Amino acid sequence: MTMHSSDDARIAKTRNLARYFVENPHISAILLILVLVWGYFGLTGMPQRKDPYLAVRVAMVLCPWPGIDAERVELQVTRRLERSIAENTHVKRIQSTSRTGLSVITVELTEDIEETGEIFDDIDLRMRAVLDLPEGAGPVVFMKDFGDTAALMLTVASPPVSEVEADLRSREVVRVMGQLRGTAREGTAADRVSLAFVFSHSASPAMVRRQAESLAESLAKKGLFSDTQVYAGPNLVVLDGATAAAPQALRQAVYDYAVSEVHLSEISPDIWEPAVIRDPADARKALLAVAGSKYSYRQLEAYTDQIMRRLLGVPIVSKVTRWGVQQEAVYLEYSQERLSAYAVDPWRIKEALAARNVSGAGGVLEFGGQNLVIDPSGRFTSEQELGRTMVAASGSGPGAYLQDLVDMERYYRTPPENLNYFMYKDKEGTWRRALGITLAVNMRHGQKISDFSEQVDEALAEVTARLPEDLIMARTSDQPRQVEENVELFMEALGDAVWLVVLVSLIGFWEWRSALLMALSIPITLAMTFGMMHLMHLDLQQVSIASLILALGLLVDDPVVANDAIKRDLALGHPPGIAAWLGPTKLARAILFATITNCIAYLPFLLLKGDTGRYLFAMPVVITASLLASRLVSMSFIPFLGRYLLKPSAKPEPSEEVRRTKGFSGMYYRLGGFLIDHRYWVLLLSLLPLAGGVYLQTHLKPQFFPNDLSYLFYADVWLPEDAPIQATDAVARQAEDIIRETMAAYEAAHPGEDGKPAPVLKQVTTFVGGGGPRFWFSVSPEQSQPNYAQILIEVTDKWLTPKLQEPLQTALESRIPGARIDMRQLESGEPVGVPVQIRLLGEDMQELRLQAQRLKALLRALPMAYRVRDDWGSEIMKAKLTINPDKANLAGLTNQDVARSSMAAMNGLEATTLSEGRLLIPVITRLRAKERATLTDIANLYVYSESDPGRRATLGQVATLDFTAATEKIARRDQFRTIVVSCFPTPGHLPSEVVEAAMPQIETFQKELPPGIRLQIGGEHEKQVSGFADLTVVLAISVAGIYMALLFQFKNAVKPLIVFSAIPYGAAGAIASLYAMGSPFGFMAFLGIISLIGVIVSHVIVLFDFIEEKLEEGEDLRTALLDAGILRLRPVMITVGATVIALFPLATSGGPLWEPLCYAQIGGLTAATFITLLMVPVIYSIAAFDLKIIPASVPRQEKDHAA
């Protein structure tokens, strides 16, 4: 039991920090200035981020095996690599996807790993040591920087062609139209239509002529054109013919021709859309309608290379990568018949080019005391040099120059691996879609984002001065801006909270001196806290700033108590020099234990595992630092300042008798006495709010982490697995138009204050062929695949992001059939992905597909689940080439000859490289598109013998083509084939509701699974179960730690239980607040309830100290309980009022992440105030009067000692 000495004894014997600061004002003043300076430098010196840094412990392994089907890739490549990866003991999870020609493996390390470098290096070495891969597979590429998040994404895009260029082009078109129509034989000018194709770059005249004539022939066969006149120049193709067809029918016919004869993937992006022109006077208008970009991908590559090299020279930049670069290639397109006429095959061409193209050194000659480097000529540096290469014929043929054998064309490698577009609004208010290349700029870890922004801005200003003025450069993901706004927002919330605390203090003390002392204590405490944060190398980000706001009520508790204690001692007649340190000293032990209790309540959060623990690491550290700072300030600077600020009240403090009968304290005394006198009824009735809390908790919707509030959100666009990248691009373009139209409709429906539509959509960046750079730590880029596109949307107001999800999802789903489109918000905390996921693991693919169909039907039957799918997709049609070995042998061919010839004709054969400055451009031979356009053409492919170049046969002579359904995508998890069935909750529902509704059927389904098939529930449910389990452990440790601290303080095993009895009431208040505000019960709400424990316990500790003091003064227990409550009435009301009100700015402006935590604390603390002052005395009286498990009075010897 606490012993309280007389004031005279304390004054005579006490030598503590508070007294030292009061009696040494010069030292105290200098230390105060130093603390404020320390805090300023701590605040300005801390690195700034939007969110806590989370190291993404994920790497990717890529292994190509061109032309091989997904199942063989999985069996012979993926499994071998997985086994080797699994040998590393730090690997937590292995996930893989096997597709035709490619194995992609994602490696995730265990969450206890801080530094990933050595472990990833070990895995990389293991990958290099895998030597038993089948022939043709490899090389294995290990990407250990896959998880790096870009601090800045800069998209460089081309503006549309200028009106000057459009005028020049239109004049050329008009001239050509006049020339063609002058030689026309059918129809008048009014009956004729011209199709104009504009090339941004010069093309091979022979190739252009051939394609133009082939298109004219196709249109004539369809009866759309007659008497067709053709003009084919290096930059322009015009087809003029008599027709009655509508312009749209002609455009569709051109598109069909491109699909069937040319292949969409082989059409250069630099070619404009076809312009349909009937009247030459409309040529300019028609060309402007289809005008392409001013700068080609080739030019954009050169511009972005300059930018990249300059940014890599910035010290704070760690890495710069580009997305959307189109690699150039020189294509040597041949006709089988022409090569046959010269007795040449593609391998002869490759051999001739390899022999001619010398890239090695000629050695060094030491001559005349100097080294002379010999540089042999022979490297190909231009297409013309390629054309002059002599290719020898098989046997005794004469051979020929390469330019006489093939059509030579330099353009982008086809099909493109990825495409990048940028949609923006120009100065006239017109939305435009432009070719683009995106640069992802990474910042070195531990640096200040403001320094990064400043240095990058300087570098960009320097390099852009050397680039075209009209080049578009847009920040499509701008972490410096996000950090600046986020830190500014939270600092504003912190400032608002400080002013509200001061206001509450002014009302509570009703004296400006006390309110001023409180106002001064907050910046001093915050300065000390900032200094501690800087020493511990913490970042200034939303978790650390929000932790300061959460701690604000706690850190004012000590100053409030110290302030109140000083005022009481001044009222007792002590001079200011004595009262300033004596008042805080009297409560020093109780406040110390209250501080320890609060620290113990928060520090166990450091035991949270994995990324969740890392994300919230700053919270317990910052709150503990602020509590320690508050404790130091209340025992140092508060006494020092209180000596000069606080004065004895002109009106004497009312006596205890007056406080018991008059005013608010009198009302409390009477109410408290009534409750103690009827304590059993009161205890029984108090169970009602507890039961209500339990009932409401069952009606709260559980949630792991809410989505983040950001200007950015995105759409995932999926087409069937066999869709080419051009089909995906077409759907992405359609989706962009729908997004723009839906946003415009939203703007019209929600006008601004001036009645005009307020702009909502700012810009759209599209990545086709794979996910773009990692722009957000929880958004994992999708693998490179032609059937996927990611559309990144930026809006003007981040609070609109949640409101736009549903209308956009509805519009995209209803207007784009055949594609799977998901609107996604950015996630906060550990990434989850699709919120509802159920995994089926096994080895039998057909059985997995069958059970997945059953599971999808189960989920589709739920009214709150939609967008149900699996991650394998539908089976696709595949052509199986069956070689007849007997016929092949008779023809002198091997199976290898058949496979090699088919691959070379369909996909091309890389023959050599062309050196042009910094670029190495591959030279590829391949069959003309027209000769490989249909299934019939495949049978006519020539198969060449590797051992005897003169031998050949058509593919149809030695093999047959069979068609079958096959799985294009095989996913695996932890070395088992895994198919994931997933869905989204319908608007207004949470993922937890879907899982809860489906759980009975899932359990029945699981029991019916055949042997060898396992079921796992993933998604948010898996994260939530794991996270809540960790929090339960934290709660247990926190409670145990607090109990031990109270045990040492009270030296009584029962009193801590009375203290804990107040906790359930606070939790019930928190749950009621969450229910009233419609907030889900998620991780942050659970965290808020746990953190209530320390606040409630700290208030009860000080109350108990006053109770013991009154008992030592000789009061009976009933009177002591009520008098102690009166003494704690003002400090508790001020502290709780300050804490609750300080949380409102964070609740209203901090976003969905902090709302549940704030509302839980607001409700819990409000309830705890009444519990501390009213219910704790009731429970104490029951334990003392009725149960007699704690003493109701101070023993005689203690009373004598106290006297």
Q: What is the mean pLDDT of the chain?
A: 85
pLDDT of residue 655: 67
Question: What is the Cα–Cα distance from 1005 to 1017, expressed in whole angstroms?
Answer: 13
**Does residue 1088 belong to any structural domain of this protein?**
yes
The answer as to whether 854 is a domain residue is: no
- pTM recorded for the entire structure: 0.85
| Residue 474 scores a pLDDT above 90 | yes
Which stretches of 333-437 are DSSP H helices? 336-341, 346-356, 383-387, 402-405
- CATH number for the domain harbouring residue 273: 3.30.70
DSSP string across 851-875: HHHHHHHHHHTSTTEEEEEESS---
The type of residue at 434 is A
| Beta bridge mates, 883 | 959
395 or 850, higher pLDDT: 850
Residue 777: the pLDDT is: 78
Query: Which of 241, 274, 290 corresponds to the end of one domain?
Result: 290
Q: Letter for the amino acid at 789?
A: A
Q: Which two tokens stand for residue 51?
A: 């969110």
Q: Are 1095 and 1168 in contact (CB under 8 A)?
A: yes
Q: Would you say residue 523 lies in a domain?
A: yes
Residues 1178 and 1131 in one domain: yes
Cβ contact 467:1116 at 8 Å:
no
CA distance 965 to 71: 12
More confident position, 248 or 364: 248
CA nearest 821: which of 829, 833, 809, 832?
A: 809
pLDDT reported for residue 820: 92
pLDDT above 50 (res 1198): no
User: What's the CA gap between 290 and 271, in Å, rounded?
Assistant: 10
What confidence tens digit (pLDDT) does each residue in 77-91 have? Answer: 999 999 999 999 999
Using the predicted structure, report yes or no on whether residue 641 has a pLDDT greater than 80. yes
Given a cut of 90, is residue 795 above it in pLDDT? Answer: yes
Same domain, 38 and 64: no
Instruction: List beta partners, residue 1016.
Output: 839
pLDDT for the residue numbered 1014: 94
For residues 441 and 488, give the distance between their C-alpha atoms in angstroms, rounded to a whole number: 23
DSSP letter, residue 778: T
Residue 299 lies in a domain: no
- Two structure tokens written together for 673: 């006495």
Classify residue 1052 as exposed, middle or buried by CB count within 10 Å of its CB (0-12, 13-18, 19+). middle
pLDDT digits (tens, 9 = 90+) for 272-308: 888 999 888 899 888 888 888 888 888 999 999 999 9
**And the tokens for 580?**
């300033």
Which of 442, 345, 560 shows the shortest CA–CA distance to 145?
Answer: 442
User: Which of 1164, 1143, 1042, 1036 has the alpha carbon at shortest distance from 1098?
Assistant: 1042
pLDDT at 669 over 70: yes
Bridge partner list, 821: 717
- pLDDT at position 1199: 37
Cβ–Cβ under 8 Å, residues 669 and 1122: yes
Name the strand (E) or helix (H) holding 902. helix 895-907
Cβ neighbours for 973, distance < 8 A, ≥ 6 positions apart? 93, 94, 95, 839, 841
SS3 200: coil
pLDDT band at residue 911 under the 50/70/90 scheme:
confident
Please give the residue that has the higher pLDDT: either 703 or 623.
623
Instruction: Look at 189 and 517; give whichever has higher pLDDT.
Output: 517
Confirm whether 897 is domain-assigned.
no
Is the per-residue pLDDT at 383 higher than 90? no
Q: Specify whether 528 is located in the same domain as 622.
A: yes
Do the beta carbons of residue 475 and residue 39 sit within 8 Å?
Answer: no
Q: Quote the tokens at residue 709.
A: 């509030």
Q: Look at 83-97, 832-846, 925-939, 1058-1072 and tell me which has the smallest mean pLDDT.
A: 925-939
- Do 30 and 79 lie in a common domain? no
183 pLDDT above the threshold of 70: yes
Does pLDDT of 716 surpass 90? yes
631/668 same-domain check: no
Lowest-confidence pick of 26-30, 603-607, 1099-1103: 1099-1103
Predicted local distance difference test score (pLDDT) of residue 1143: 80
CB 48 within 8 Å of CB 541:
yes
CATH number at residue 127: 3.30.70.1430
Please give the torsion angle defined by the CA atoms of residues 387, 388, 392 and 397, in that order, rounded to the nearest 10 degrees: 90
Give the per-residue pLDDT at 553: 65
134 and 180, same domain (yes or no)? no
Q: Tell me which range, 277-286, 732-741, 867-876, is most confidently predicted by mean pLDDT.
A: 732-741
Q: Residue 385 pLDDT > 70, yes or no?
A: yes
CA dihedral 181→187→189→195, nearest 10 degrees, is: -60
- For residue range 544-570, what is the model confidence (pLDDT) as tens digits? 877 877 777 677 777 777 877 888 788
713, with CB counted inside 10 A (0-12, 13-18, 19+), is buried
Whether the Cβ atoms of residue 1038 and residue 1090 lie closer than 8 Å to each other: yes
- Asked if residue 874 is part of any domain, the answer here is no
**If you average pLDDT over residues 1044-1049, what whole number do you get?**
84
Phi, psi (degrees; rounded to nearest 5) at 145: -100, 20
Same domain, 279 and 208: yes
CA distance linking residue 683 with residue 1185, whole number of Å: 14
| Calpha distance 673→1118 (Å, rounded) | 8
Among 1098, 1102, 1119, 1101, CA closest to 1110: 1119
Q: What is the CATH number of the domain that holds 598?
A: 1.20.1640.10
Give 459-482 as a DSSP string: HHHHHHTTS-TT-EEEEEEEHHHH
What integer is the mean pLDDT of 862-889? 87
735 has pLDDT over 90: yes
Category of 1014 on φ-ψ map: left (φ > 0), alpha (ψ -120 to 50) or beta: beta
Closest CA to 422 of 822, 794, 825: 794
Asked which of 92, 115, 146 is the last residue of a domain, the reply is: 146
Query: Are 1194 and 1059 in a shared domain?
Result: yes
Q: Are residues 9 and 91 in the same domain?
A: no
Give the per-residue pLDDT at 574: 84
What are residue 866's phi and psi, to 5 degrees? Answer: -150, 175
Q: In this predicted model, which residue has the larger pLDDT, 591 or 679?
A: 679
Domain boundary among 146, 177, 193: 146
pLDDT in tens, 1047-1097: 888 888 888 888 888 888 988 999 999 999 888 888 788 878 877 877 788
Instruction: Please name the residue that has the structure tokens 């730090």.
Output: 90
pLDDT of 30 strictly over 90: yes
**Are the beta carbons of 558 and 591 closer than 8 angstroms?**
yes
Of 634, 603, 598, 640, nearest to 618 by C-alpha is 603
Report the length, in residues, of the chain: 1203
The predicted-structure confidence for 1077-1088, as pLDDT tens digits, reads as follows 888 888 788 878
CA 732 distance to own-chain centroid: 21
Mean pLDDT of 236-253: 88
- In the structure, what pLDDT confidence band is assigned to residue 789 with cuts at 50, 70 and 90? very high
Give yes or no for a contact between 852 and 837, defined as CB atoms under 8 angstroms apart.
no
What is the rounded average pLDDT of the residues 160-169?
A: 86
Give the span between the Cα atoms of 337 and 648, in whole angstroms. Answer: 111
pLDDT of residue 395 exceeding 80 = no
| Token pair of 63 as six digits | 């292994």
End-to-end CA distance of the chain: 16
Q: What is the pLDDT of residue 1202?
A: 33
For residue 930, what pLDDT is reported? 80
CA–CA dist 419, 731 (Å, integer): 13
Reported as a single tens digit per residue, the pLDDT across 993-1011 is 899 999 999 999 999 999 9
Tell whether the model's pLDDT for residue 770 goes beyond 50: yes
Non-local (6+) Cβ contacts of 294 within 8 A are 158, 159, 160, 161, 162, 165, 470
Q: How far apart are CA 638 and CA 625, in angstroms?
A: 18
Instruction: Please check whether residue 529 lies inside any domain of the structure.
Output: yes
pLDDT cut 90: percent of the chain above it: 25
Token digits of residue 688: 């009602």
What confidence tens digit (pLDDT) does each residue in 430-454 have? 899 999 999 999 998 878 888 888 9
pLDDT band, very low/low/confident/very high, at 1201 (cuts 50, 70, 90):
very low
CA atoms within 13 Å, Cβ hemisphere of 946: 9
Count: domains in the chain: 4
Phi, psi (degrees; rounded to nearest 5) at 411:
-155, -160
Alpha helices in 46-102 (DSSP H): 70-73, 79-86
Q: How many CB atoms lie within 10 A of CB 224?
A: 20
Cα–Cα nearest to 642, from 745, 513, 739 = 513
For 632, the token pair is 């130091």
User: What per-residue string of b and e applies to 998-1036 under the rule 16 or more CB within 10 Å gives b?
Assistant: beeebeebbeebeeebebebbbbbbbbeebbebbeebbe
Residue listed under structure tokens 């199976």: 895
Residues 672 and 639 grouped into a single domain:
no
Q: Which residues contact 1015 (CB under 8 A, 6 or more apart)?
A: 838, 839, 840, 841, 1002, 1005, 1006, 1009
Among the listed residues 365, 347, 405, the one whose alpha carbon sits nearest the alpha carbon of residue 896: 347
101-120: average pLDDT: 87
As beta bridge partners, residue 330 has 410, 923
pLDDT value of position 144: 83
Examine residue 1138 and state whether it is found in any structural domain, yes or no: yes
Whether 684 and 580 map to the same domain: the answer is no
Closest C-alpha to 919, from 413, 317, 419? 413
The verdict on 86 and 196 lying in the same domain is no
Structure-token pair, residue 139: 């090389």
Domain, as residue range, for 95: 58-146
The rounded Cα 773 to chain-centroid distance in angstroms is: 11
Give the three-class secondary structure for 463: helix
Total Cβ atoms within 10 A of residue 11: 15
- Residue 204: the pLDDT is 64
Q: Which residues pair with residue 952 across a beta bridge? A: 944
